[in-house]
Structure 1
Amino acid sequence: MKILFLCQYFPPETNAPASRVSELCRCWAQSGEEVTVVTAFPNHPTGIIPPEYRGMRFLREEYFGCRVLRSWIYATPNKGFFKRVLSFLSFMVSSMLVAIFRAGKCDVVIATSPQLFAGLAGWVVSVLKRRPFVLEVRDLWPDSAIQLGVLKNRMLIALSRRLESFLYRRAALLVPVSESIRDAIRSHEVPEERLLVLPNGIDPELFFPGIRSSEKRKEIGIGEEFVVSYIGTHGMAHGLDRIIEAAHLLRDRADIHFLFIGEGAKKEEVVRHARKLGLERITFLSTQPKKEIPAWYAASDLPMVSLLDLPVFTTVLPSKMFEIMACERPILMVAKGECARLLERARAGMVLETNDPARMAAAIEELAGDPERCRRYAEAGRRFVLENFDRRRLADAYLERLKQVAGKGE
């Protein structure tokens, strides 16, 4: 089967959509399917295109058996509403042109949110190619932008909601990444037969347990300290300033070190906050290559997953929680909703439903003093994720539904 996938993000970018799309497409290519990905030149979240990609309008690449077609994008940092919208629109237009004129024939067209302009591009391409349209819903837009205070104009909100409903009605198959997102889509009167819940998963060949006392600890100049880490996008959704406040409350604990890895809209603000408080036992690193993330988790004693206390974030399942579990590390989760329930079901960590810094600091001290409990969390998490969220099995289930939608089923 010939699969055409439109997604703004793709490796070497390391965010959740890039990981999900690349791993699914790699699995399908390994199964003998012809996969074409239309994506942008890498720039997330800094807005800086790497030197090897600069000055190009179009590029053809290969990625583990997949054909990758890169189209032009107005690259901008992952902050500032209007510049981000311009970036989204630029990819919408350029991806449509590349998909229509350079991608060739296909049996199905898939587009992935969170931003809906990529979905609109996918629908247009599907109409012109006369092929079924599949929309992945990784986040509820425009709800997330509204609740974060990014989208405030009533007219733009109304237009965004109309676009959301339009795409939901036009898709032959909608693929939410959580049951909560599926329930939200149902409110648009989407029939059950057009829904497939397909959560994020892990590549067990990439994410596996490592050695705690690794070279990574030496790189940041720490020894046997208890390392609390946050690895991922430093965005508006994550409430990282509250983790900095918790670190401040633990400033006298010489045996506890905080590690932040990643970039994003709030990175500079978080770093300034830590410096203003005079925190010494804290390290900030830029985004690391995907292949090195398991080693950084291995060097961590307590990775964190943090989301703001907003209704829209009760629907999400952050991909990093699966990666942490696969690396056999306990999780301290500051979140409510489906991800919190899943972590408790897995018995893979501690859940705090409040982002109160004092509660965070107390939880960190509690777990730092109980290595046996951390070990149990870590082992349970790895068992759970391998049994339920192996990306290869998820990709197979997805492929079967795609074949049905495209009329290619047996």
Structure 2
Amino acid sequence: MKILFLTQFFSPETGAASKRVYGLARQLVKLGHEVHVVTGMPNYPSGRIKDEYKKKIFCFEKIDGINVSRYYVYVSEKRNTLNRMLNYFSLVLSSLFFLLKRREIDIIITSSPPLFLGLTGVIMSKIKKIPHVFDIRDIWPEVAVEIGELKEGSKVYKIMKRIEKIIYKNSDILTVVTKGKKTNLIKNGVDANKIKLVSNGFDEEFLEIPINKDIAERYNLIGKFNFLYAGIIGIAQGIDIIIESAEKLKFNNEIQFVLVGNGVELERMKNLVREKKLSNVIFTGEQPHNNIRSFLHYSNVALVPLKSEALKDSVPTKLYEALGAGKPVILSASGDSVEVVKESRGGLVVKPGDIDSFVKAIEKLYKDKDFYKDCTINSKEYVIKNYSRTAIAKTLEKQLKLELDKSRDNSKNL
């Protein structure tokens, strides 16, 4: 098959969207398919285009056998609704220039969020008369309302709801990453037969990345019991709970909190640490994804917080990576991600925002050596068995082949 991914985010950008598309695309290449990715110039989450891509309106590169076409995107370090919309819609428009390349494509997969690139996917699928798959990691605009970024009933919300309906109606398959998302879509009137589960997963090759010893020295990770958060430092993640816990545990000289990543909340978190005069919190800034393997290696426990109990159908990619690397997890969330931690027996779960329980979970894994050891063994075995990226790519491949066969049969009957 000749497969096209449309995505706002792609390597070298970090974050769940980039990891998912990159992981699936790479595995599909290994399965013998020709894979193309249409995306923008890397700029997330800093709002600045990376130096090697600056002043370009188009560039082509090959990454692990994946054909990557990058197009112009509007960027701004100022975080507001207008700039985000301009960022999203600039790629919606610029990515349509891929049609001029006259590439032969069998099927299109659009990654969401953001929602709007689905319009490009729908347009391309109509012009090329091929199936369109809309891959949903988070259901927008609902998730924006849940985290307080958008008001239900606002003009922007209403526009997004209309766009959502257009995309759903004109997509042949809707793939979702959790059972909870499938349930939510069905409740909102989407045909259950149209929805397929293609979960997030763990790439076993992540464990083969060499350990960078310089990281341990640079960030003072040796001789400490390190609690690691690695990911976007944004609104949905609720990083405040980590800073509040660090304050309660500041008298324990062995416990240290390491925050890896960038995002709109980073400066506020740094200011909180300064205000509280905490010496047990380290910010490393944005790191290449390969470095996450080393940070996990030198850490004892991974922290996976989500801000709201409303985000029940989200399972962060960082959860799979931590468990797959054999690191116990403290999850502050509810819903589908809780099932993963409990079924894996790889860590502890607390309610979002429950600082006292979060601190108790930290102390449990710090003090109870037997429990800690059991978590390390259970977590790795469970994730590799149930959430291998290879197996997930094969699930997607099967769904794509079925849809492509159906599309070809329909064309013959016309």
Shift of 1:214: 4.9
Q: Say whether 1:221 aligns with 2:220.
A: yes
Give per-residue Cα distances to partners, 1:173-199, cap 9 Å, x unaligned: 110010000111112333333221111
For the 8 Å contact 1:247–1:258, the answer to whether it is kept is yes
User: How does 1:44-83 map onto structure 2 within 5 Å?
Assistant: 44-77=44-77, 79-83=79-83
Shift of 1:103: 5.6
For the 8 Å contact 1:38–1:68, the answer to whether it is kept is yes
Residue 404 of structure 1, aligned match among 398, 402, 405: 402
The two structures have a TM-score, normalised by structure 2, of: 0.94
Shift of 1:360: 1.6
| Residue-pair matches, total | 407
Unpaired runs of 5+ in structure 2? 410-414
Letter in 2 for 1:106: I
Give per-residue Cα distances to partners, 1:245-265, cap 9 Å, x unaligned: 110011111111110000001
Letter in 2 for 1:226: F
* Aligned-partner Cα distance in 2 for 1:154–1:205: 44
User: How does 1:2-401 map onto structure 2 within 5 Å?
Assistant: 2-77=2-77, 79-98=79-98, 100-102=99-101, 104-152=103-151, 154-207=154-207, 214-311=213-310, 313-401=311-399
Give per-residue Cα distances to partners, 1:123-146, cap 9 Å, x unaligned: 111111111110000001001112
Give per-residue Cα distances to partners, 1:334-378, cap 9 Å, x unaligned: 101110122111111000014222222222112100122112111
The 3-state SS of whatever aligns with 2:312 is helix
* Aligned-partner Cα distance in 1 for 2:341–2:287: 25
The residue that corresponds to 2:412 in the other structure is none
Shift of 1:330: 0.2
For the 8 Å contact 2:207–2:293, the answer to whether it is kept is yes
Letter in 1 for 2:203: D
Letter in 2 for 1:35: V
The 3-state SS of whatever aligns with 2:8 is coil
For the 8 Å contact 1:40–1:72, the answer to whether it is kept is yes
* Aligned-partner Cα distance in 2 for 1:333–1:78: 31
For the 8 Å contact 1:28–1:395, the answer to whether it is kept is yes
* Aligned-partner Cα distance in 1 for 2:208–2:347: 17
Shift of 1:217: 2.5
The 3-state SS of whatever aligns with 1:315 is coil
* Aligned-partner Cα distance in 1 for 2:73–2:234: 21
The 3-state SS of whatever aligns with 2:197 is coil
Give per-residue Cα distances to partners, 1:146-188, cap 9 Å, x unaligned: 2222223622212211221222222111100100001111123
Shift of 1:97: 2.2
Shift of 1:69: 0.4
Name the CA shift for 1:352/1:78 in 2 (closer, same or farther; >3 Å): farther
* Aligned-partner Cα distance in 1 for 2:181–2:40: 26
The 3-state SS of whatever aligns with 2:405 is coil
The 3-state SS of whatever aligns with 1:181 is helix
Unpaired runs of 5+ in structure 1? none
For the 8 Å contact 1:77–1:265, the answer to whether it is kept is no
Letter in 1 for 2:405: G
Give per-residue Cα distances to partners, 1:267-307, cap 9 Å, x unaligned: 00001101110001211011111112111001111110000
The two structures have a TM-score, normalised by structure 1, of: 0.95
Name the CA shift for 1:103/1:188 in 2 (closer, same or farther; >3 Å): farther
For the 8 Å contact 1:343–1:349, the answer to whether it is kept is yes
* Aligned-partner Cα distance in 2 for 1:78–1:28: 37
